Structure 1
Amino acid sequence: MAGLVVAFQRFNITDGVFGSPWAGLANFRFFFSSGSAGRVLFNTVFLNVLFLSSTLIVGLALAIMLNEIRSKFLRKPLQSVIFFPYFVSPIVISVILQVLLSGFGGSGGAVNNMLGVLSLPEVDWYTTPGPWPWILTIVKVWQMGGYTSVIFLAAITSIPEEVYEAGALDGASRAHMALHITTPLLKPTAAILIILGIGRIFFGDFGTIYAIVGDNGTLFPSTDVIDTYVYRALRTQGDFGMTAAIGLFQSVVGFALVGVATLLTRRFSRDSSLL
């Protein structure tokens, strides 16, 4: 924590933490007065909202569907297959996307071949920034949907069996019980995941985004997030003070958002609150 003082200094390695001159809030002003600050902040929040909402919805749906499979010999292998993408390296995902979107040699690709079959025009994906928030969201869902479903499955196991027996006695079908019993009882788990996600909403998924996009400036308008911006600034300018300032800003805002989200959850859904 003591290293946070670098955010308020014109830090250089020669003088160190104790010898570097004091800069006050200059590092913060440098970032927020730059022409890229608004775009980078919007992309970070927008992508994280897409990631959080989509992975929660898909994870919940997968958990309910897996829970409805009665055969253990079928459910366990399916759960393993769904969970496997969580362990796939972002570099491997980048290679898969290149094959799907541009093919070997930078032309064609499975997606463009499919568009050709449908008599639709091909898209040069790596020079078209518009679709990339949705492409990254699909990648995130594929990568994290199974992981999130395991969390929901663990919560489902804590639901008393007597609740389902009472529903069956009332004539409820499996679909009705999944919709009106399982889903409402998973609200506390979903609330915790949302609060944790909100706390990271100003932190971009650096590993996945940089592995896929890299230094392709054409895609920056829709994919450049705070973490990739800071990485390039540190790599090209060596400005430790500015990068530390942005990191401190992310942490403080994340802490404040977690507090607000927790209080709102306590106000409107006390059963789902952490307090």
Structure 2
Amino acid sequence: MEQATPAAIRRKKAGKEKRARTLNQSYWSKYGVFYLMMAPALIVLLINNYIPMVGGLIAFKNMTYASPSFFQNFLDSPWVGWDNFKFLFQTSDAWLITRNTILYNVVFIVTNLVFGVGFALLFNNLKSKRLAKFHQTTMFLPYFLSMIIMAYLVYAFLNPEIGILNKIIFPMLGWETIDWYSEPKWWPLILPIINEWRNVGYYAVIYLAAIIGIDHEYYEAAHIDGASKWRQVWSITVPLIRPVIITMTLLQIGRIFYADFGLFFQVTRNAGALYDTTLVIDTYVYQGFMVMGDIGMSSAAGLYQAVIGFVLVLASNLVVRRVSKDDALF
């Protein structure tokens, strides 16, 4: 057996380094152009999504404003540990805002799934493609409208004095008028309707794209076997678009502690009489910041929402992975 001399060891090491450089050069010559194409998006992602995460440290500080420089104020502000979180959760409204945020988002997730898939199936079965495109465009339009515009459209219906419901529809039906902005009991129904009106077109188009990608040979074979349309939907369409359904649902679960600020602030006109059913974490933090200027508490709420959302995505994905590994996100 040849004895390993220092020269042989050096030659062996040099050979390994040369092979590593060759492989590295080969890798970059093959995939470098793709990294170059990704560079602008990665830079934007870094600047917009990752660098601002440093601001999460504000949640553990009592921010002072002695200096005109925000960075200097950040450095000079004392650390307060978990005090901002304690202040957030010890308020009398902590349970109210958490309950409203979670329950509304659960309803939104369910309705987005049911109506999104339902309308996608209807669009897919329309014989006139031109008519299908018209309906898709009409339903997708509210998704691009500003929430302020939508708030005025809703106000045109719900205005207590000159709204369409109170002025035209209810008198025709012989019903009593309702002061919508002072009776909170109606808003758990109104807000999901408005949310669905705005988002159903978006989800329908996503699910429709998944349905269109299904091979028609499955349906032809099912038709030959005598399967009805409903049977084809439950046995072919829904199982094959299940990965898309799971992905969209997991993404919404990740934001279950976030609320659509425009929906709960603009549409409700921030009416104090409705707070029992419309006050959510986002609007509560906004009002707290505007009244008290407490940026630490606002940052604590944002960090709390982000961490809980991240944990929920991991937990939901783990459940999906245990049921069907192929359908999990990761």
Deviations 1:231-261 (A, max 9, x none): 1111111101100011000000000000000
Rounded Cα–Cα distance in structure 2 between residues aligned with 1:230 and 1:68 = 45
Partners of 2:105 and 2:171 in 1: CA distance: 32
Query: Residue 92 of structure 1: which of 149, 152, 155 is its match?
Result: 149
| Aligned-residue offset at 1:72 | 1.6
Cα separation, 2, equivalents of 1:191 and 1:115? 41
Q: CA deviation at 1:27?
A: 0.4
- SS of match in other structure, 1:130: helix
Equivalent positions of 1:22-37 (< 5 A) are 22-37=79-94
C-alpha displacement at 1:180, in angstroms?
Answer: 2.6
Counterpart for residue 14 of structure 1: 66
User: Which structure 2 residue ranges, 5 or more long, are not aligned?
Assistant: 1-52, 68-72
Q: Give the AA of the match of 1:49.
A: V
Residue identity matched to 2:163 = G
2:238 to 176, 179, 183: 183
CA contact (8 A) 2:250 2:313 kept: yes
Mean CA deviation greater in 2-11 or 38-47:
2-11
Separation of aligned partners in 2, 1:3 and 1:209 = 25
The one-letter amino acid paired with 1:60 is: V
Are 2:258 and 1:258 aligned? no
The 8 Å contact of residues 264 and 270 in structure 2, kept in 1 or not, is answered as: no
Structure 1 position 108, deviation (Å):
4.5
- Cα distance, 1:75 vs. partner? 1.3
Higher relative contact order (CA 8 A, sep 6+): 1
Q: Count how many residue pairs are aligned between Structure 1 and Structure 2.
A: 272
With normalisation by structure 1, the TM-score equals: 0.95
> What SS does structure 2 have at the residue aligned with 1:153?
helix
User: Is 1:55 paired with 2:112?
Assistant: yes
Distance 1:85 1:117 in 2: 28
- Deviation string for 1:38-65 (max 9, x for gaps)? 0000010011111111111111000000
Aligned partner of 2:133 among 61, 68, 76 = 76
Looking at structure 1, the residues matched to 273 and 116 of structure 2 have their Cα atoms a distance apart, in angstroms, of 32
Deviation at 1:118, TM superposition (A): 2.7
Q: Which residue of 2 aligns with 1:211?
A: 266
d(CA) in 1 for partners of 2:162 and 2:292?
37
Which amino acid counterpart does residue 107 of structure 1 have in structure 2? E
The Cα of 1:173 is off from its aligned counterpart by 2.9
The percent of aligned pairs where both chains have the same amino acid is 39
What TM-score does the superposition give when structure 2 sets the normalisation length?
Answer: 0.79
Q: Distance in 1 between matches of 2:227 and 2:326?
A: 25
Counterpart position of 1:123: 178
Instruction: Give 1:130's aligned amino acid.
Output: K
The Cα shift of 1:202 comes to 0.2
* Match of residue 267 from structure 1: 322
User: In the alignment, residue 269 of structure 1 is paired with which amino acid?
Assistant: S
Bigger shift: 6-15 or 146-155?
6-15
- Cα shift readout 1:140-169 (whole Å, capped 9, x = no counterpart): 111000100111011112211111111111
Distance 1:159 1:185 in 2: 7
Aligned 8 A contact 2:59 2:296 in 1? yes
Q: Which moved further from structure 2: 161-170 or 12-21?
A: 12-21
Q: Distance in 2 between matches of 1:118 and 1:272?
A: 49
> What are the superposed Cα offsets for residues 194-218 of structure 1, whole Å, 9 maximum, x if unpaired?
1111100000100222111233111
Which sections of structure 1, spanning at least 5 residues, go unmatched?
A: none
Q: Quick check: 1:12–1:240 contact (8 Å CA) kept in 2?
A: no
Bigger shift: residues 72-81 or 25-34: 72-81
- Rounded to whole Å, the distance in 2 between the matches of 1:117 and 1:271 is 55
Give yes or no for the alignment of 1:110 onto 2:164: yes
Higher-Rg structure is 2
